Amino acid sequence: MTLRHATLRQLQVFEAVARQLSFSRAAAELHLTQPAVSMQVKLMERHAGLPLFERIGKKIFLTGAGTELHQHSRVIAQQLRDADDALAAQKGLSQGRLVITMVSTAKYLVPPLLARFLKQHPGVTVKLSANNREIVLKQLAENDVDLAIMGRTPQGMEAVAEPFARHPHVVIAAPDHALAGKRRIALARLAKETFLIREPGSGTRGLLERLFAENKLPLNVSMEMASNETIKQAVQAGMGISLLSLHTIELELTMRRLVVLDVRGLPIVRDWHVVHLAAKRLSPVAQAFRTFLLSAAGKLVPKK
C-alpha cells in the first residue's frame, strides 16, 4: 500500500493529531471518538509503511517519517481551506467559515463583538481559540487562522496589523491592601510589592516586565499563573498585586472584589489589533469581520 490509497479523512485525522500531539485533543477537534482517531492513524501508518508517531511515557512525538508527512499534510489542509473559502466567496456572506485566534486576555472582549457580527450573518460558522501570545503568533505564522486578535503587533513577520479599540492595563489589588485608596503611587513603591504574573509567552507579562525594565526597577515576582482568572482569585486572597487588562476585571470591580491602584503613569493604554498575514487572501467572511471590527468595535468597547 502507498499514500496514494489514503483517504482525505485519514489525512485530516493525521494532521490534527500531528498538530496537537494528542489523540484526545484531535478527537475533540474533529468530533470523533479517540478509538476512531487511533484507527485512522493506524491506517495512515499502514499506507506509509512506517511508524508516524512514537510514545514516550504519556506523551507522543512525531517520528522522522511523521514529521515529513506532516509538512505535506499541512499544505494539503490549507489548500482545502482555501478551496472552502473560494466556494464561500461564490455564496457570498450568507455562508462561510471564520477561523480566529486571540490572546487569552481578549476572551473578555471578542465574544460579545463576535455575537453582534453573527446576528448580522447567521449562516457563518466560527472556530475561535484563545492562547498566550506565543502560540497565537505561531498559529498566525503557520497560516492556520484567518485573523488574530492581539495587543502588541507581531515583529519579524509579514503581517497587516490594524488597531480597532483601546486597551488599558492597570495594577490591581485586594480592597484591603495597604495601597488601596492611596493617591499617585510611585512605581518605585510598587517595586517593594509582590507581583503575581502570567506564564512566559504572555503579552501581559511582557508589558509588565518592560515597564519595570524601562524604569530600571526590580520586579518582585512570587508566582507565575497560566490564566487571568487564577491571578484575580489570588489577588483577591491577598497573595500579591498584578498588572491586568482593565477589560478582564469589570465584574470584580463592580462587585468590589478588586480595586485599581492609582499609580503614577498608569494606566498603560495600548490598542487591540486585528492581524492577518500580508499574503493572506481573506475570504469574504473574514474580510467582513475585519471591516466590522475596524468600523464598529471602537464604539462598542467600553472606554475607560
Instruction: Indicate the pLDDT class of residue 85, thresholds 50, 70 and 90.
Output: low
Q: Does position 226 have pLDDT exceeding 60, yes or no?
A: yes
- The arithmetic mean of pLDDT across residues 273-291, rounded, is 92
Q: Does position 40 have pLDDT exceeding 80, yes or no?
A: yes
Nearest to 45 by CA among 14, 89, 87: 14
CA 132 distance to own-chain centroid = 5
d(CA 168, CA 176): 23
**Maximum Cα–Cα distance across the chain:** 74
Q: Does position 256 have pLDDT exceeding 60, yes or no?
A: yes
Q: Which pLDDT value is given to residue 6?
A: 83
For 206-241, letters b (16+ CB in 10 Å) and e give bbbeebbeeeebeeeeeeebeebeebbebbbeebbb
pLDDT tens-place string over residues 5-27 = 888 889 899 999 999 999 999 99
For 244, other C-beta atoms within 10 Å of its C-beta total 24
Q: Which pLDDT value is given to residue 82?
A: 73
Nearest to 12 by CA among 83, 73, 69, 86: 73
pLDDT tens-place string over residues 169-180 = 999 999 999 999
Mean pLDDT of the chain: 90
Domains and CATH numbers, the chain: 3-75 (1.10.10.10), 89-165+271-300 (3.40.190.10), 168-269 (3.40.190.10)
Q: Which residues contact 80 (CB under 8 A, 6 or more apart)?
A: 8
- pTM metric for this prediction: 0.66
Q: Which pLDDT value is given to residue 88?
A: 63
pLDDT tens-place string over residues 44-71 = 999 889 999 998 888 899 999 999 999 8
Instruction: Indicate the pLDDT class of residue 97, thresholds 50, 70 and 90.
Output: confident
Nearest to 196 by CA among 171, 217, 166: 171
